[in-house]
Structure 1
Amino acid sequence: MAGNSDPLSPRAKLAVTAGKAVAAASRAAGRGSGSVIGGRVALRLDPDLLGRLAQNLDVTLVSATNGKTTTTRLIAEALRAAGPVVSNALGANMPAGITSALAGSSEAKFGVIEVDEKYLAGVARDTDPKCIALLNLSRDQLDRAAETRMLAENWREGLAGTKAVIVANCDDPLVVWAASSSPNVIWVAAGQMWKDDAWSCPSCGGVMQRPGDDWFCGECGFRRPTPTWALSGDHVLDPHGSAWPIHLQLPGRANKANAASSAAVAAVFGVPPQVALERMYQVQAVAGRYDVVQFQNRDLRLLLAKNPAGWLETFSLIDPPPTPVVLSVNARGADGTDTSWLWDVDYTRLTGHPIFVIGDRKLDLAVRLEVANQHFQVCENLDQAVQMCPPGRIEVIANYTAFQDLRRRVGN
């Protein structure tokens, strides 16, 4: 906890100690970081522990379908200019993982917490955040996630009347509708590449009009709010109209958008844009994403894409043809077991790239690529795919558990 004004109760201390012990045992057994199981044990012993751990922190919550892990990392780097930060940097973003992360630091001033979209309202209730960043909402894990408007409604109801400052993307109608129930919103023009979940008005169901970068509902008048922060090319425009250059080691337009939202959050805590953006340059990779690794004497860039919106953004940042591309798709519990989302991805964007397909659901992906008239080869594993790739750097795009498999294989 920050300071000792309100020390943890004996029960809370016991819960933290037990959670750390279980996490350490899990790590020793080679079962991952142990953060989730440790957090579960701690919450079982003290159901109010998350709130207790957060009570002396200035908390920022970050939620979205895509980009929340990276944005959490960028905000954490920016806020370190103003004091120590605790964060769930490895992406364990449900209550158990969040509790475990907060239990790991007693000196922090700020808590920067990535939250799974389905848990945002509950975590906001428990942690009394000063700021909440809402980036985007799109289809994801079709077998177990509610459709996107229901998630937006869950956010809207859960955040109604919150004291937190909401930093929200004004280019995503679902995010705008969700945030509009809050009294204090800072709108950021961060852009929206994927629009297929926002053609109907979330407020009345009418057809959304989209002239240029604007949007509005012709039936009920729901419309894009005027932003005070904006991404403009390689710069962030602040509320005073000043343009601050974005220098990132992370690739792509989506990460510039994440940086713009992160700068707006940092400003809520008094960190100026220039300082915030300079600190964000330190971030080279996020939990292995964007890392370039050596494997079988080749350079592989590892890219995570979990859903149609994520794949669309990822296709925009890979090297041009004829750079080889390895695609890996699984459909395990953490991915969602329904692979019908593959049909929502525009694979014609890969035309000209030699494509190699691996993963548990490589045949599902192969059928989709066949229909998209792409040239591809199905391979047994990463080793075989790399051996078959023509010379040069290889782009490797994988969904969630496939990405973890790849990292283990390349020793990352």
Structure 2
Amino acid sequence: MAGNTEPLPPRAKLAVTAGRAAAAVSRVAGRGSGSVIGGKVSLRLDPDLLARLARHLDVILVSATNGKTTTTRLIAEALRASGPVVSNALGANMPAGITSALAGGSDARYGVIEVDEKYLAGVARDTTPKAIALLNLSRDQLDRAAETRMLAEKWREGLAGSKATVIANADDPLIVWAASSSPNVVWVAAGQEWKDDAWSCPSCGGVLQRPGDDWGCADCGFRRPRPTWALNGDYVLDPQGSAWPIHLQLPGRANKANAATSAAVAATFGVPPQVALERMYAVQAVAGRYDVVTFMDRQLRLLLAKNPAGWLETFSLIDPPPTPVILSVNARGADGTDTSWLWDVDYTRLAGHPIMVIGDRKLDLAVRLEVAGLDFRVCENADEAVRMAPPGRIEVIANYTAFQDLRRRVGN
């Protein structure tokens, strides 16, 4: 049973201590939280440390292209109704960051861990999770991540031998293909707004038919499984058909879908949906996302959108025109250096909004907006963009490193 904390061997204790020291030095030097460098130091000293730290925990892994940080937070809040939780809440989701997070949770019962898509199979092998939540797969960081079908295949292979309960989105064909190798799957009808990565059957390559909310392949019979949990408007439907209201401080349909999946995960550990959903209300922002800050005497709402699926969901959150919008795009290592995904985003949804464009790749974005027929201004930085914005709260949408730049500038 989780919670039985047998002492770490001396080498592992040394690795944890050294990792904490490295993280502290990194923080003092102003280089961030230090979780990644701390984890790297720890794993260098004890390559088996992640497995050792996970041994006493009920581990829940969360992976997806979009929504994994938020869903990790929601699951962690829900499970705190049943016991102490350790989690990589700030999103350091590769093995080093995960190791750092678990090293701080010696008294925890649950480990709720966000995992980068590329590392899911390896982390699952090391941590022996009790549950794995899979939300969606879509194009992202095109120069780094594999094509989505290949990534689904890696998940499928990696999960085939897992004893974990897999909680998976029945509306994403790639997720269904990846999860179908698992013997114990809980299907959630969480929805799928972005469909452009799943028009062909991941099983045989045929064309998927999509009548209404259903989907299936006429060639091989691969089709949407029957979900036992579902998002239905502002409610989560559980396997008994009971409807539980969703009350979140986080905006948008996507976060309701994240809450539905989180409720299904919590239920596998005995936390009732009503209790789980009530606890999720405590989450106001996730690593700065959705925060409203005051900067230069203006109200700015900070929104993160890293790929076409994320931009599509984010456009549904923003206030209607003529609310001013600042868009910021970088293409650094953590973002992926290929910006061709900009052409997959339907920026015509911003028609009527005054648009200011900043970021390292502001000219790439400007060309895309020009082709979309939108009016916009290219600005040198956030300060100029805010000065140029008409009155009213400003919606700020940025990809990953651009978002971090903005948080540092506006003091968030």
TM-score range, shorter chain: over 0.9
Q: Retained in 1: the 8 A contact 2:65–2:137?
A: yes
Q: What is the CA RMSD across the aligned residues, in angstroms?
A: 0.9
2: CA distance between counterparts of 1:154 and 1:117? 10
Q: Counterpart in 1 of 2:118?
A: 118
Q: Retained in 1: the 8 A contact 2:134–2:167?
A: yes
2: CA distance between counterparts of 1:22 and 1:140? 31
State the AA in 2 paired with 1:284.
Q
1: CA distance between counterparts of 2:390 and 2:330? 25
1: CA distance between counterparts of 2:38 and 2:5? 26
Q: Counterpart in 2 of 1:411?
A: 411
State the AA in 2 paired with 1:47.
P
Q: Retained in 2: the 8 A contact 1:303–1:396?
A: yes
Q: Counterpart in 1 of 2:254?
A: 254
Q: Counterpart in 2 of 1:209?
A: 209
Q: Counterpart in 1 of 2:50?
A: 50
Q: Retained in 1: the 8 A contact 2:4–2:56?
A: no
1: CA distance between counterparts of 2:25 and 2:358? 33
Relative distance call for 1:3 and 1:277 in structure 2 (3 A) is: closer
2: CA distance between counterparts of 1:146 and 1:405? 27
2: CA distance between counterparts of 1:311 and 1:166? 27
1: CA distance between counterparts of 2:127 and 2:2? 14
Q: Retained in 2: the 8 A contact 1:2–1:107?
A: no
Q: Counterpart in 1 of 2:392?
A: 392
Question: How many residues matched?
Answer: 412
CA deviation vs aligned residue, 1:339-396 (integer Å, no higher than 9, x gap): 0000000000000111100000000000000000011000011111111111110000
Q: Counterpart in 2 of 1:297?
A: 297
Q: Retained in 2: the 8 A contact 1:2–1:106?
A: no
Q: CA deviation at 1:198?
A: 0.1
Determine what percentage of the aligned residue pairs are the same residue: 87
Runs of 4+ displaced beyond 6 Å = none
2: CA distance between counterparts of 1:26 and 1:352? 44
Alignment of 1:336-347 (within 5 A): 336-347=336-347
CA deviation vs aligned residue, 1:242-261 (integer Å, no higher than 9, x gap): 00000000000000000000
CA deviation vs aligned residue, 1:138-168 (integer Å, no higher than 9, x gap): 0000111110000000000000031000000
2: CA distance between counterparts of 1:89 and 1:365? 31
Q: Counterpart in 2 of 1:272?
A: 272
1: CA distance between counterparts of 2:57 and 2:318? 39
* Secondary structure at the counterpart of residue 255 of structure 2: helix
2: CA distance between counterparts of 1:320 and 1:263? 31
Q: CA deviation at 1:106?
A: 1.1
Alignment of 1:10-409 (within 5 A): 10-409=10-409
Give TM-score scaled by structure 1 length. Answer: 0.99
2: CA distance between counterparts of 1:216 and 1:44? 46
* Secondary structure at the counterpart of residue 142 of structure 2: coil
Q: CA deviation at 1:7?
A: 1.2
Unaligned runs of 5+ residues in structure 2 are none
